[in-house]
């Protein structure tokens, strides 16, 4: 079996009653796994814990519908949780931490995290997390460049984006990687549900090399230079600039 | 920062020949007051403009508007960034004059890459949109004014 497709039987056998991964739906091509789940939810066809996976996304999207280029070789999936019983806001940080942890476990290489939820290797992005709340239903999408060849990434992205394969020379078995990612997120979300974000705060920061470094933050059109001071108990970014300490709930940060 | 003190300062500037004044330390904040009426947004001054706008959030101002015109506000249930449309090139969820139902999605507020669809939770007509696309919003900040049915 080629490492760039999924072993459907193995994946279906892995389905268990837990927070996510109860029902795994695999697509060859889909516009976006999150929009698929959203539509399926509207039609009442999926229940809590469903996971949608695709080999290729034609309209994968990142923050504010920016395109997330999704060629074969990457892992693209979304999960649905209905009525999650905790503050949902820090959840994307928990998911990003979990993805980084799984990549570390699978490759021996420790990715780093960029607030709120970018996953990087050698300073380039390999993955991202994006969540949407539709009523009290949470849909969370994850894209990770795993076996993606450099030629599959658009030229203009090669400075900023990379894949596990490009950085390590190793190709992973996608089925293995997917199941580890799903089960890792399931485990961490269960911990989050019971213990809250405080459990993850230091773990998240341990993967963030820019803690206490100078960063640029951009909210709306406003760009300011500040010091990355801390991550709060609720996952917000605490920065210090000339006016003092500030808490960021949204926006983007960059290092230069 | 005291609203009255800012108002006093604004009045002083208004009555003087000064076109613009910047005080680096005023009640613990930096403030710039400029007379140019609705000048085109100048990027390098955005911080100070924001400070000028700061007095807006106090709830009593919103209540006044509501009382006067019988309007009801839709306010931000969370802190984050306000978006009027699902994508930069998409049509806004609602425009002034639109009729909305309780479950009409009026905007998105993003916090830490979690996109929350905000529903109107009231039936009526959108009379005013108080926040610009892409702007940060505070908890409880009024986003829309609605004339209830």
| CATH code at position A74 | 3.30.930.10
Q: What angle do CA A121, A123, A128 make, to 5 degrees?
A: 65
Query: What was the pLDDT predicted at B50?
Result: 39
Report the chain A residue with the minimal C-alpha distance to residue B48. A222
Query: What was the pLDDT predicted at A157?
Result: 83
* Same structural domain, A61 and A110: yes
Structure tokens at A217: 């933050």
| CB-CB under 8 Å, B30 with A243 | yes
Nearest to A129 among B46, B50, B113 (CB): B113
Nearest to B81 among A88, A224, A251 (CB): A251
Query: What was the pLDDT predicted at B62?
Result: 42
pLDDT at B37 over 50: no
* A251 close contact with B: CB closer than 8 A: yes
* Same structural domain, A215 and A146: no
Query: How confident is the model over A73-88, as pLDDT tens digits?
Result: 999 999 999 998 788 8
Domain-terminating residue out of A205, A229, A244 = A205
The length of chain B, given as a count of residues: 149
| CB-CB under 8 Å, A220 with B136 | yes
* B112 close contact with A: CB closer than 8 A: yes
* B113 close contact with A: CB closer than 8 A: yes
* Same structural domain, A143 and A214: no
User: What total of structural domains would you count in chain A?
Assistant: 2
Report the chain B residue with the minimal C-alpha distance to residue A237. B112
CB atoms closer than 10 angstroms to residue B27: 11
* Same structural domain, A200 and A223: no
C-beta contacts of A156-160 below 8 A and 24+ residues apart: A157/A69, A159/A124, A160/A124, A160/A125
Q: How far apart are CA B15 and CA A191, in angstroms?
A: 61
Residue pointed to by tokens 């609720």: A234
Distance from the Cα of residue B46 to its chain's centroid: 14
Report the chain A residue with the minimal C-alpha distance to residue B111. A250
Q: How far apart are CA A21 and CA A32, in angstroms?
A: 18
* A91 close contact with B: CB closer than 8 A: yes
Query: How confident is the model over B89-135, as pLDDT tens digits?
Result: 889 999 999 999 999 999 999 988 889 899 999 999 999 999 999 89
* Buried-state track B110-136, b at ≥16 Cβ within 10 A, e below 16: bbbbbbbebbbebebbbbebbbeebbb
Nearest CA to CA, how far is B81 from chain A (Å)? 6
A93 chain-B contacts, CB cut-off 8 A: 112
| CB-CB under 8 Å, B112 with A92 | yes
Residue A107 lies in a domain: yes
Query: How confident is the model over B46-57, as pLDDT tens digits?
Result: 343 333 434 444
Residue A1 lies in a domain: no
Write down the pTM of the prediction: 0.76
| CB-CB under 8 Å, A90 with B112 | yes
Query: How confident is the model over A28-80, as pLDDT tens digits?
Result: 889 999 999 999 999 999 999 999 999 988 887 776 566 777 888 999 999 99
Residue A3 lies in a domain: no
What's the helix, strand, coil split of chain A in %, to 5? 30, 35, 35
A91 chain-B contacts, CB cut-off 8 A: 114
Residue A180 lies in a domain: yes
- Residue A10 DSSP SS3: helix
Q: What is the CATH number of the domain that holds A242?
A: 2.30.30.100
Residue A103 lies in a domain: yes
A92 chain-B contacts, CB cut-off 8 A: 112-114
Closest by CA to A187, choosing from A5, A19, A6, A14, is A19
Domain of residue A250: give its range. 210-254
* Same structural domain, A122 and A16: yes
- Residue A45 DSSP SS3: coil
pLDDT at A164 over 80: yes
* Same structural domain, A58 and A122: yes
Query: How confident is the model over B122-131, as pLDDT tens digits?
Result: 999 999 999 9
* A238 close contact with B: CB closer than 8 A: no
A221 chain-B contacts, CB cut-off 8 A: 43, 46, 134
- Based on its alpha-carbon atoms, the radius of gyration of chain B, rounded to whole angstroms, reads 17
* Same structural domain, A111 and A223: no
Report the chain A residue with the minimal C-alpha distance to residue B112. A250
Q: Residues A18, A187: contact at Cβ < 8 Å?
A: no
| CB-CB under 8 Å, A236 with B112 | yes
Average pLDDT value for residue range A223-246: 90
Helix extents (H) in chain A:
8-13, 33-42, 91-107, 164-168, 174-195, 198-206
* Same structural domain, A104 and A219: no
Closest by CA to A11, choosing from A222, A176, A170, A158, is A176
Residue A2 lies in a domain: no
* Same structural domain, A199 and A215: no
Q: What angle do CA A244, B8, B25 make, to 5 degrees?
A: 25
ipTM given for this complex: 0.75
pLDDT at B65 over 70: no
* Same structural domain, A134 and A249: no
* A117 close contact with B: CB closer than 8 A: yes
Distance from the Cα of residue B96 to its chain's centroid: 15
Query: What was the pLDDT predicted at A47?
Result: 94
Q: How far apart are CA A168 and CA A153, in angstroms?
A: 16
* Same structural domain, A117 and A219: no
* Same structural domain, A192 and A224: no
């Amino acid at each position: 079996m080629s490492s760039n497709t999924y072993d459907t039987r193995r994946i279906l056998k892995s389905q268990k009653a837990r927070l996510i991964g109860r029902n795994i739906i695999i697509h060859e091509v889909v516009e976006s796994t999150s929009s698929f789940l959203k539509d399926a939810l509207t039609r009442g066809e999926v229940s809590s814990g469903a996971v949608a996976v695709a080999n290729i996304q034609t309209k994968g999207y990142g923050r504010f519908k920016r395109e997330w280029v999704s060629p074969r070789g990457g892992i693209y999936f979304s999960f649905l949780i209905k009525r999650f019983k905790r503050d949902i806001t820090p959840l994307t940080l928990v998911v990003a931490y979990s993805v980084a942890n799984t990549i570390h476990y699978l490759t021996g290489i420790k990715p780093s995290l960029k607030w709120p939820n970018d996953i990087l290797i050698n300073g380039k992005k390999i993955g991202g997390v994006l969540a949407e709340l539709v009523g009290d239903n949470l849909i969370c999408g994850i894209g990770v460049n795993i076996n993606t060849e450099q030629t599959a990434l658009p030229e203009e992205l090669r400075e900023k984006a990379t894949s596990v394969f490009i950085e390590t020379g190793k190709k992973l078995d996608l089925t293995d990687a997917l199941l580890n990612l799903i089960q890792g997120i399931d485990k961490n979300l269960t911990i989050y549900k019971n213990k809250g974000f405080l459990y993850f705060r230091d773990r998240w920061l341990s993967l963030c090399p820019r803690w206490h470094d100078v960063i640029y933050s951009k909210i709306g059109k406003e760009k300011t230079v500040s010091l990355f001071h801390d991550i709060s108990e609720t996952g917000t970014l605490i920065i210090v600039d000339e006016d003092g300490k500030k808490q960021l709930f949204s926006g983007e940060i960059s290092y230069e | 920062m005291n609203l009255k003190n800012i108002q006093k300062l604004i009045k002083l500037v208004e009555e003087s020949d000064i076109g613009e004044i910047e005080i680096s330390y005023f009640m613990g904040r930096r403030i710039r007051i400029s007379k140019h009426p609705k000048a085109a947004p100048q990027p390098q001054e955005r911080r100070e403009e924001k400070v000028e706008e700061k007095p807006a959030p106090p709830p009593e101002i919103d209540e006044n508007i509501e009382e006067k015109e019988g309007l009801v506000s839709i306010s931000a249930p969370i802190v984050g960034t306000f978006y009027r449309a699902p994508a930069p090139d998409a049509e806004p969820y609602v425009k002034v004059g639109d009729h909305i139902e309780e479950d009409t999605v009026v905007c998105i507020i993003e916090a830490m890459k979690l996109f929350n669809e905000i529903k109107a939770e009231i039936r009526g007509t959108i009379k005013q949109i108080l926040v610009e696309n892409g702007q940060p919003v505070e908890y409880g900040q009024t986003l829309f004014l609605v004339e209830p049915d």
